[in-house]
């Protein structure tokens, strides 16, 4: 249990930093995409914004449990195991979810791509943390 929770918390913290950085990077690098977040489809209640800042820990805990189950089949170096884990996560979870979101709600393709890239980075970073802390 300890082998799942502690790496999960550490990965959650790293993904949280990445998440906050991602928000500012969106404003600086993709102002057109940032403006789309003013759409009423996106929630602007401060109370619910806190849920966003908690989500890295939800993902990281789930990924930590998943890592613990599949780490035996991942071979290679620190980098290759971490990246492969990230790719598995993004192919199994992120890609189908983004596909569904893009088909079901009014979001631009560029916005959906940013979410996909963000998911990929989350998976890879989590994989690298787990590889180091729970090899």
Beta carbon of residue 62, minimum distance to other proteins (angstroms, whole number): 21
Pick the closer one to other proteins by CB: 57 or 95.
57
Q: Report in angstroms how near the CB of residue 10 gets to other proteins at its nearest.
A: 23
For other proteins, the closer CB: 20 or 79? 20
95, 116 Cβ separation under 8 angstroms? yes
CA–CA dist 8, 64 (Å, integer): 5
* Minimum distance of other proteins from residue 6's CB (angstroms): 27
Binding to other proteins in span 15-74, by CB under 8 A: 20, 23-24, 26-27, 31, 34-40, 42, 44, 46, 49, 52-53
For residue 72, the minimal CB distance to other proteins (Å) is: 37
Distance CA 135, CA 128 (A): 10
Nearer to other proteins, 27 or 117 (CB): 27
The footprint of other proteins (CB under 8 A) covers: 20, 23-24, 26-27, 31, 34-40, 42, 44, 46, 49, 52-53
């Amino acid at each position: 249990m300890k082998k799942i929770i502690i790496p999960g918390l550490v990965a959650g913290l790293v993904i949280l930093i990445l998440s906050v950085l991602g928000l500012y990077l969106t404003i600086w690098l993709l102002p057109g995409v940032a403006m789309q977040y003013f759409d009423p489809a996106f929630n602007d209640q401060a109370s619910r914004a806190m849920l966003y800042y908690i989500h890295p820990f939800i993902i990281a805990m789930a990924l930590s449990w998943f890592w613990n189950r599949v780490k035996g089949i991942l071979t290679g170096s620190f980098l290759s195991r971490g990246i492969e884990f990230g790719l598995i996560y993004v192919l199994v979870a992120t890609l189908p979810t983004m596909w569904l979101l893009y088909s079901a709600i009014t979001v631009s393709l560029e916005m959906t791509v940013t979410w996909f890239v963000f998911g990929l980075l989350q998976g890879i970073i989590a994989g690298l943390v787990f590889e180091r802390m729970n090899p």
